[in-house]
Structure 1
């Protein structure tokens, strides 16, 4: 796959840095939404798999993350992040009119992707949620009840059983290694409630990927949100990986995860 290119868009909170992995003859486009405290550059492996599968791939650094503008890891309103993602989708459609569009969201990006599907689902061909922050996620309420947010960063060991993944995360200068911030926690709590009340995504095909040993976003809490999002008659494909931690795309079983991802997309794109 070709090296990533960069675009800069005017986001809702300032300059939005967008990674783009081109493809000479794409059969679909993929839009990636990364997780809390990280950046889209960590998804080069995912982009490579999707590129080999026929996708042109775009992924913004969300506001306050990576190379995008904003105070580090401060998101005051996730609706703005959804709007930023929609602006990137507009960039994709301008460059590749008529291509099916697949949205992939991991962790916090899963919350953004779920809300995006509620607002703009008619423009999507499929939705992929990896360890998504939807449903019953207790962390924001627990931290907001404290007078002071503890300086407890994400543990690299919680990401994957592959120690190289944690080591790279710990050494990455674009990853936030400090405490969570109160405005972001408040925004998480509000948006979890908004997505819960926002209705299902109808017949949109959804692939849900989750590590059974995910301690950052526990499986049981996400299940509540995913099942509500897909509804009783929805098109949901579920894959839970025994022993896997939070980042299933970076797990020791990543080959199985990517096979499940591309197999799902083959089924959806063949319709």
Structure 2
């Protein structure tokens, strides 16, 4: 397929539009899972940056988003989308067998990508979480916490002081449909998946990169961290991007975000390539009178990414190095 083409896939409840940004001979697969109110079609500039470094980029518009079918912004259950993503990924692997798979999720898409990794991590090369909506409780899902009906059936109104989003149930039991920009059913689905992700299995040895903007007031890093600290495995890395808000793939932040993700992916490709090479000799001792080490160490520590000085080498601010 040429860059930017689309096709369609039937999920459990709706027809999904799948975007493809491909090149002639890709080196790896990159599945993109977008956030609430977004669409993969809006990621064309970002996708172009990855295809130039050898990625086959693909991903669906979620139900009720972008070009996919469904009522506007309505997703009643997020967990079946994990199965849809697996089917879409299987098609990409059939087209390009043997290529490593990386999954990138932003915001609500980061939560979905986390569930994908919890269920299918053994088929992944790496997970990238950009401002993922995770935590035992989050600022977004708390919009519904004050919603209840009094014993006398009186109208109950509550207001979130930070968002100004009012909440109400009337005497007839009618529930308000919208809470700020969020639909009630979609918020409920988010809360259920947050619980699944927080209580689900950890990442083990799967390489994970968590990127968060220092000025993100939509998804709070301290809330996200409560889940990621529980799930983190042996190859986990946190990266803070200075002067960046929630949407890390637009504005001034996106080149730094893409640069850090590219460096992470390249380090994994190199390290896993060396690991696989050494493993061959480890299981074939007849070729060598010694056993080669299978250890490959990366500096999985917290790093802050600041804007690079003009003329500095690409990716130099990320702090990712190989031995």
Do Structure 1 and Structure 2 share a fold, with TM-score over 0.5?
Answer: yes
Computing the radius of gyration from Cα coordinates, the structure with the larger value is 2
> For this pair of structures, how many residues does the alignment match?
245
C-alpha distance in structure 2 between counterparts of 1:253 and 1:131, whole Å? 13
Q: Which has the higher contact order (CA 8 A, sep 6+)?
A: 1
Aligned-pair distance for 1:206?
0.4
Instruction: Give the equivalent residue in structure 2 for 1:42.
Output: 42
SS in 1 for 2:256: helix
Are 1:144 and 1:186, in contact at CA under 8 Å, matched by a contact in 2? no
Instruction: Give the equivalent residue in structure 2 for 1:92.
Output: 92
Aligned-pair distance for 1:229?
2.0
C-alpha distance in structure 1 between counterparts of 2:158 and 2:60, whole Å? 28
**Structure richer in helix, relative to its length:** 1
Aligned-pair distance for 1:257?
2.0
C-alpha distance in structure 2 between counterparts of 1:70 and 1:116, whole Å? 22
Alpha carbons of 1:251 and 1:222: their partners in 2 closer, same or farther (altered >3 Å)?
A: farther
C-alpha distance in structure 2 between counterparts of 1:35 and 1:96, whole Å? 26
SS in 1 for 2:211: strand
Pairs within 5 Å for 1:43-192: 43-135=43-135, 136-146=137-147, 179-192=181-194
Alpha carbons of 1:54 and 1:141: their partners in 2 closer, same or farther (altered >3 Å)?
A: same
Aligned-pair distance for 1:253?
3.4
C-alpha distance in structure 1 between counterparts of 2:142 and 2:257, whole Å? 31
Aligned-pair distance for 1:87?
1.5
C-alpha distance in structure 2 between counterparts of 1:53 and 1:229, whole Å? 30
User: What TM-score do the two structures reach when normalised by structure 2?
Assistant: 0.72
Instruction: Give the equivalent residue in structure 2 for 1:250.
Output: 250
Greater mean alpha carbon deviation, residues 26-35 or residues 178-187: 178-187
Alpha carbons of 1:217 and 1:10: their partners in 2 closer, same or farther (altered >3 Å)?
A: same
Instruction: Give the equivalent residue in structure 2 for 1:215.
Output: 217
Alpha carbons of 1:251 and 1:239: their partners in 2 closer, same or farther (altered >3 Å)?
A: farther
Are 1:149 and 1:182, in contact at CA under 8 Å, matched by a contact in 2? no
Aligned-pair distance for 1:203?
0.4
C-alpha distance in structure 1 between counterparts of 2:56 and 2:241, whole Å? 27
CA RMSD in angstroms comes to: 2.2
C-alpha distance in structure 2 between counterparts of 1:149 and 1:81, whole Å? 32
CA deviation string 1:26-59 (max 9, x = no partner): 0101000000011111111221111011011111
